[in-house]
A and B are shown apart, each in its own frame.
Chain A
Amino acid sequence: MSYNLKEQMSKPERFAPGHRLCAGCGAGIVCRAMMRAVDPEDKAVICNATSCLEVSSFQYPYTAWEDSYIHTAFENAAATASGVESAMKAMKRRGKLKGNFKVIAIGGDGGTYDIGFQSLSGALERGHDFTYFCYDNEAYMNTGTQRSSATPMFASATTTPAGIESVGKKQTQKDITTIAVAHGVPYVAQTTLLGTFKDFHQKARKAIYTEGPAFVNVLSPCPRGWQYPAELLPEICKMAVETCFWPMYEVENGEYLLTYMPKKKRPIEDFMRLQGRFAHCFKPGNEWTIEAAQKFVDDRWEALLKKCR
């Protein structure tokens, strides 16, 4: 499949400007790119978990979504999508449906890794024909940067603040992408916001047009929670990938494929230094945190490479 950025960007926007997301937030970029992956002749129903995205994109009486959209609660985007997809099947069977619809669920890491985990797992297991996008900004941002199970070790969050007795979050991140793979679903991928969006687009398109459940985890930086100037968003995404903090890969019917191999793996501090949430790690006496973070990234990267053969 050839990819042409200019061609992609000339498509009509399906996530319209005028939403209330912060400058430098990844979520809006995720949504625009996600909707570009739906063929123009197809329609979509977006099922959104309660999140920054929800309160910023559908504040009555305005919506940024050109397609049908439903928000119901925080922990159930996948269950809501299950209902929409089931309705679609029943209505198609009874000749009550016109057009081709794609069911897309989207939630933050709170709504995906944590409170929405059961609902997601259930929907993946049942095999509904839908795609779940997680825009992973690594903490509960809508309520003000509380730690989630996606928050990386040593990040300072408002419930794991750095202090004299604390170097931020103690635990490592939950590997939700691998957990999604363990459901035996046909397509799982991990990507972020890079360059021409070729990687994102190809994975999103494959996910949306694969029959059955698909899961796409997108690293989606948050300028407020990660503490960086808005214009640094692309650089942070790039460093997440170049340090192997956020490997780019996909799993098709259980087969792992690395979709990007950094020419030279950068040290993790190149990713951490750009963000205020890790500032305490660079203070004298805390050098060990960077070493520990490096070891975690290295171990996980090696394990992934083995799976990719």
Chain B
Amino acid sequence: MSIRDRLSGNEAIATAMRQINPDVFAMFPITPSTEIPQYFAQYVADGRVDTEFVCVESEHSSMSACVGAEAAGARAITATSSAGLAFMSEMLFVAASARLPIVLAVACRALTGPININHDYSDSMAVRDSGFIQIYAENNQEAYDNYLQAHRIGETADVRLPVMICEDGFITSHALENIELETDQDVKDFVGEYTPENYLLKAENPLAVGPYGVSGYYMEARVAQAEAMKNAKRAILDVAADFEKKFGRKYGFFEEYKMEDAELVMILMGSSAGTGKAAVDELREQGIKAGLIKVRVFRPFPGEELAEALKNAKAVAVMDKSEGFSACGGPLFADTAGACINMENRPKMIDIVYGLGGRDFTMDQAKRVYARLAKIVETGEVGPVYTHMGQRDKRKEVQ
């Protein structure tokens, strides 16, 4: 039986953490994720969890401590944002290569500089090659639900990878929304106990973690890790199916909105989807065949599935909420375009970088994106492939 409540994204994630009651939480504060460990500290203070809550001296150490704890046999978690994620990035690679299913909540925030505390994906996108599974939420409900699924996905025997549960800084992390919470017991039953096969504190069988891998062995380790990430695709769907059966809410790699006959398609991530869907509704009323895809799982990237979903599309705008400085488009565009490369009838595709450092994404902008796609279909001319939207000087925007 679900419980109606009204929570911010941070409190929703902290609630999921409380219900799971992990062994170790190593924390270091950074805006806008700080509330997550603050809520959790209160759960510890009130005896609602018996987690070992460690206040370390940096994000590098919070992820290092999580690596030590998870390798030791514990369920270990942390939360961070922006510079904190960048500072711990070395250890993200170590966590993934050591095949430790740590769960990291990220309230996504712009990277410096200029220093900025608001939302975009420059932090999480900068570590997309770390080997973490990355799952993104549109709203508080999804942040909560994704977190409930994270441990089981990461701990799946042929996956054993760390998981990043991403919410949009402030937009999702701080805004209050109505949410359906599950009971503590239902959550515990769904997530289950962590029972690793081998761990440092296994008295009957010592374990060595983190070897020097020379050229004769390194590649095998990396290929095994790549295979695990492929296996994660199946695990994500399996856990989502189980989640739907138990709690009734459905999840996949991405959400398709009015895509059955869509010709003009916008692909984006996170909270912008709400604005995008509202624009689609308006355009549909005008008879325009607009559709939207909201990417939930970015690592592993659901390339084949996306290509399949785009098979009837004529023009596609990929919306990147981070600037990758590749001079030819953002990371979501690069992966989406790559996924479509062998399609029979490939749609025209553009990349629009938007919403950096908390710049608002408006209905008007969303409609301008579809107008550009309509023009591309009409003229057959793609025009500039990689552009920015929402700058102060409107003359700079490509129409």
Contacts and interface: CB of A to CB of B under 8 A. Distances in A.
A82 interface: yes
B201 A45 contact: yes
B67 interface: yes
A235 interface: no
Interface in B54-103: 54-58, 60-61, 64-74, 76, 90-91, 94, 98
A121 B61 CA distance: 11
B384 interface: no
Given A76-B64, A86-B65, A94 B56 contact: no
Contacts of B209: 69-72
A118 interface: yes
Given A83-B67, A87-B69, A61 B217 contact: yes
B56 A79 contact: yes
A64 B61 CA distance: 27
Ranked nearest first, the 6 interchain pairs of A and B with the lowest CB-CB distance are A83-B68, A122-B57, A83-B65, A99-B203, A87-B74, A87-B72
24 contacts: A43-B206, A58-B210, A60-B213, A65-B206, A67-B206, A70-B71, A72-B98, A80-B65, A80-B67, A81-B68, A82-B61, A84-B69, A86-B74, A87-B23, A87-B201, A90-B24, A90-B50, A94-B50, A98-B203, A119-B57, A119-B58, A122-B56, A122-B57, A125-B57
Interface of A: 43, 45, 47, 54-55, 58-61, 63, 65-73, 75-76, 79-91, 93-94, 96-99, 101, 118-119, 121-122, 125-126
A184 to B, nearest CB: 16
Given A73-B90, A83-B66, A59 B212 contact: yes
A230 to B, nearest CB: 23
B52 interface: yes
Contact of B94 (A55, A60, A73): A73
A87 B214 contact: no
A142 to B, nearest CB: 11
Given A65-B208, A87-B24, A94-B50, A72 B201 contact: no
B61 A76 contact: yes
A84 B200 contact: yes
Nearest to A43: B203
A105 to B, nearest CB: 10
A80 B64 CA distance: 5
Given A86-B69, A90-B74, A66 B206 contact: yes
Query: Which residue, A63, A96, A98, has most C-beta atoms of chain B within 10 A?
Result: A96
Interface in B205-222: 206-214, 217, 221
B74 A118 contact: no
Contacts of A45: 72, 200-201
Interface in B121-141: none
A99 B204 CA distance: 9
| Most A CB within 10 A of own CB, among B58, B73, B211, B213 | B211
B26 interface: yes
B205 to A, nearest CB: 9
Contact of A121 (B57, B76, B201): B57
Interface of B: 23-24, 26, 50-52, 54-58, 60-61, 64-74, 76, 90-91, 94, 98, 200-204, 206-214, 217, 221
Contacts, number: 171
B38 to A, nearest CB: 18
Nearest to A58: B211
A204 B301 CA distance: 50
Contacts of A58: 208, 210-212
Contacts of B76: 83, 87
Given A60-B214, A76-B60, A84-B68, A70 B200 contact: yes
A292 to B, nearest CB: 36
A35 B74 CA distance: 25
Given A63-B211, A73-B94, A93-B50, A119 B203 contact: no
Contact of B64 (A43, A66, A73, A88): A73
Nearest to B53: A86
B223 to A, nearest CB: 14
B51 A90 contact: yes
A79 B61 contact: yes
A142 B202 CA distance: 31
Contact of A72 (B24, B64, B74, B207): B64
Given A70-B200, A94-B23, A94-B50, 10 more contacts: A45-B201, A70-B68, A82-B54, A83-B65, A84-B69, A86-B24, A87-B69, A101-B201, A119-B60, A119-B61
Given A81-B68, A86-B74, A68 B24 contact: no
A71 B221 CA distance: 16
Interface centre among A54, A80, A96 (most CB of B within 10 A): A80
Given A73-B90, A87-B73, A82 B210 contact: no
A60 B211 contact: yes
A98 to B, nearest CB: 4
A54 B212 CA distance: 7
Contacts of A118: 57-58, 61
B201 A88 contact: yes
A91 B23 contact: yes
A72 B76 CA distance: 16
A55 B66 CA distance: 23
Question: In this complex, which of B55, B58, B214 has the most chain A Cβ atoms within 10 angstroms of its Cβ?
Answer: B58
Nearest to B204: A98
Contacts of A75: 60
A66 B84 CA distance: 36
Contacts of A72: 64, 67-68, 91, 94, 98, 209-210
Q: Which among B72, B203, B214 has the greatest number of chain A C-beta atoms within 10 A?
A: B72
Nearest to A45: B200
Contacts of B69: 83-84, 86-87, 90
B19 to A, nearest CB: 16
A81 B21 CA distance: 22
Contacts of A94: 23, 50
Contacts of B58: 118-119, 122
A87 B102 CA distance: 13
B61 A68 contact: no
Contacts of A87: 23-24, 52, 68-70, 72-74, 76, 200-201
